[in-house]
Structure 1
Amino acid sequence: MQSTSPVDQVSVIKAFAATLLAFVLIDGAWITFVAVPLFQRELGSLMRADPLLWPAAIFYLIYAAAVTLLVVLPSAREGRLAAAAWRGALLGLAAYGTFDLTNLAIVKGWTLLAALVDLGWGTVATVLAGSMGFWASRRRTASR
């Protein structure tokens, strides 16, 4: 695919930082206000009383890097927000589908409702975070 817009190292760093920040903020709000109450009702005994934060932190770093490399940078090179949206939707569906559908298949007590709601959220969250990373990358490029 022909590159229509250069993406330099500063843009990559800004894209990663914006993607990570957006994902942590929107996912944090989602977890607090929707996921915890839903999962407590749906998955009760499977929930930890005190969640471990270090695995979540590692996930956010890995996932933000994947979104940056697979969604943001190719879309920024094309200069198309719509590309970031569809790539984000596809990655979110694949990543969250892997988690939720595998759990539905092998974890006794994992419910269809929890899987579908979380899968939908992961798709939307990845679109939003990827779009913010795209915006940050393009903003840096456009300001020169």
Structure 2
Amino acid sequence: MARLMEWAHAPRISGIGYVAAYLAVALPFVMLDFLWLTLMGPRLYQATLGDVLRPNPNLWPAAIFYLIYPLGLIGFAVLPAYQEGSMLRALALGFMFGCFSYATYDLTNHATLRNWSTTLTLADICWGSVLAGCSATIGYLAVSRLFAGHG
């Protein structure tokens, strides 16, 4: 009951705050992942997967992923951390969200795809965890600054 009362008095965001939170999470997520894929794509993914990769990626599924994933980070990391006023909670929850979601993808691929390697699995899970943790933290900081004193 005490936790419910705490939540009822937690700082709130609405309207433009959700848009700001989304952009504050999505932009660094996409930019950092683009940098990672540009640097590590040839070294890690292409080297491991070879001819399994498309020569020209299908961009629609990627676009949908990059539109949806930040919503998960906001719901499972940024907003809970904001309600507690804890940047470290945003980092930890974002890291865990990234770890679990990337592990689901990578371990399934490791179990089912012949070319998928342990190195690729471990590198991609670590990257997804760091990427999600950093993006959630940036989102938390943006929302906290935007709504400082509103609560």
Q: Under a length normalisation based on structure 1, what TM-score does the superposition of the two structures give?
A: 0.94
The list of structure 1 runs, each at least 4 consecutive aligned residues, that deviate by more than 4 angstroms after superposition, is: none
Runs of at least 5 residues in structure 2 that lack an aligned partner in the other structure:
none
What residue in structure 2 maps to residue 68 of structure 1?
74
Q: Distance in 1 between matches of 2:86 and 2:67?
A: 24
Aligned amino acid, residue 130 of structure 1: A
Q: How many residues align?
A: 144
* 1:7–1:76 Cα contact (<8 Å) kept: no
Rounded Cα–Cα distance in structure 2 between residues aligned with 1:12 and 1:75: 14
Gaps of at least 5 residues in structure 1 are none
| Alignment map for 1:1-144 (pairs within 5 Å) | 1=3, 2-3=6-7, 4-142=10-148
Instruction: Say which SS state the counterpart of residue 142 (structure 1) adopts.
Output: coil
Stretch of structure 1 that moved more, 34-43 or 12-21: 34-43
Rg (Cα) greater in structure? 2
Q: Classify 1:48/1:121 alpha carbon distance in 2 versus 1 (closer, same or farther; 3 Å).
A: same
CA contact (8 A) 1:67 1:88 kept: yes
Please say which of residues 29-38 and 13-22 is displaced more in the overlay.
29-38
Q: What secondary structure is seen at the aligned counterpart in 2 of 1:22?
A: helix
Q: Shift in Å at residue 47 of structure 1?
A: 1.1
Q: Deviations over 1:56-105 (max 9, x none)?
A: 11001110111111111111111100000110111001000000000000
Distance 1:72 1:58 in 2: 20
Task: Report the AA paired with residue 44 of structure 2.
Answer: L
TM-score, length basis structure 2: 0.90
